[in-house]
Each structure stands twice: as structure tokens, then as C-alpha cells.
Amino acid sequence: MYPAATCALHHRNPWELLVATILSAQCTDKRVNEVTPGLFAKYPTPTDFAAVRPEVLAGDIRSTGFFNNKAKSIVGAAKKVVSEFGGSVPQTMEEMLTIPGAARKTANVVLGTAYGIACGVVVDTHVQRIAQRLDLSKNAEPVKIERDLMKAIPKDKWILFAHQIILHGRAQCQARKPKCSECGLDSVCYAKDKTQLAISFQLSAPDRAGLAES
């Protein structure tokens, strides 16, 4: 269904992807992609981000929401990347997790998309919802869902799988009104909140009684 799925956040290098991913929290990728071109023109490098005051950066990213916290994370991330990693975003999960604003989801996005390194599976709200609907995980916590997916999905598919599921969540398997009748996974999905096409039929009284009992 989504053979060429990839990250929807526009970026030219790992640092830009890290910033875009931090901005994407509680914000649409579309909005982030509207903000980042001007942002990266104003602050071309991690050194430029490290030098700006968080309150100033907050004004530049205001439309993405939660701008004060995001500004602090991005400035903190820039300072960390510049001072400890020579201005380059690191390529290990352990190092990524030391960067302000980079939890496992963000780290997996950057490592997988920018470097092609499969350390885990990105678990955002789409992946979390669909993993549960497809019985790939019965857990509610992202870290536990990721562990379940890492067991269920071959490692060489971890990066692509997350991109595919995210696209599927946006296109069909939406939170409130999933388009189950159009879904290619319908035959293997037994989610309790599946939507069904309305079918008009009439039952005799005995049939109605039997249906009620069942």
C-alpha cells in the first residue's frame, strides 16, 4: 500500500531533521514544514541555534505550539551537539538520548531517516493506535509498544514499517472514523472500534430473538 513511504518532515541534513522532529510534537507535519524553511534560513547551523536566546527562538516557532518548551529543547540540543559532538548529530541511540528534546521517538526518527540506522521502531500516536488495533501490542506505553514491535517486525523493516503505519494512520486508519471498508488490512484487523458499512436487512421475529440472545 505504501511501498515508498518516507518521513514527511522536510529536511536537508540530520540536524534539520532533529529540529523538525522536536517541532512536530503536538503539531502537524504540514505546519512544521511551513515554519522550517524560514527558520533554517535564519539559523543555518547548530552553532546559530546555540547562540540564540530561547525566548527569541520561541517567537520564530510560535505557530507550532508549546513554543517555549520547544525553544528551550532546540537551543539545548544545539549547544549539546556543538559542544560534545563537534556540530554533528550523533549516530547512536545512547548519545541521542543525552540531547535535550530527544526521547526514543525522536532518536529513532533521526537515526532511521537521516542515517538509515535501525535502533528501534518509531512510535507516535498513529503507530501506537494501529499497533493496538492490529493486535501487534496490547500495551499502552510507547516504550513497551516499541519493544513488542521490535519482536514482531523484522529488523530490516523497522524504519520503513513506521513510515508506512504513519501514512496509513493519516490516510485510512484514523482515530475517530477509520475507513475500514477501504482498508487493505481489513481482513486481518479485529479492532473493537472498526467501522462497518451499513447493511439493510430484515429479520423474522425468531431470527431477531436468536440474534439478541447471541
Cell of 74: 532546540
**What is the model's pLDDT at position 199?**
33
Could you tell me which of 64, 8, 60, 7 has the C-alpha nearest to residue 32? 64
pLDDT averaged per 10 residues, the chain (length 214): 96 98 96 98 98 98 98 98 98 98 97 98 97 96 97 98 97 94 92 65 45 46
User: What HEC string does the chain produce?
Assistant: CCCCCCCCCCCCCHHHHHHHHHHCCCCCHHHHHHHHHHHHHHCCCHHHHHHCCHHHHHHHCHHHCCHHHHHHHHHHHHHHHHHHCCCCCCCCHHHHCCCCCCCHHHHHHHHHHHHCCCCCCCCCHHHHHHHHHCCCCCCCCHHHHHHHHHHHCCHHHHHHHHHHHHHHHHHCCCCCCCCHHHCCCHHHCCCCCCCCCCCCCCCCHHHHHHHHHC
Range of the domain at 100: 14-115
CATH code for the domain of 70: 1.10.340.30
> Does 155 fall in a domain?
no
**What is the model's pLDDT at position 196?**
66
> Does 143 fall in a domain?
no
| 160 Cβ neighbours under 8 A, 6+ residues apart | 5
**What is the model's pLDDT at position 195?**
83
**Number of separate domains in the chain:** 1
| 122 Cβ neighbours under 8 A, 6+ residues apart | 105, 108, 109, 112, 162, 163, 166
> Does 198 fall in a domain?
no
Rounded CA-CA distance 40/35 in Å is 9
> Does 79 fall in a domain?
yes
> Does 148 fall in a domain?
no
> Does 135 fall in a domain?
no
> Does 36 fall in a domain?
yes
Could you tell me which of 113, 110, 103 has the C-alpha nearest to residue 143? 103
> Does 103 fall in a domain?
yes
Which residues are known to be catalytic?
105, 124
pTM here is: 0.88
Cell of 40: 533554517
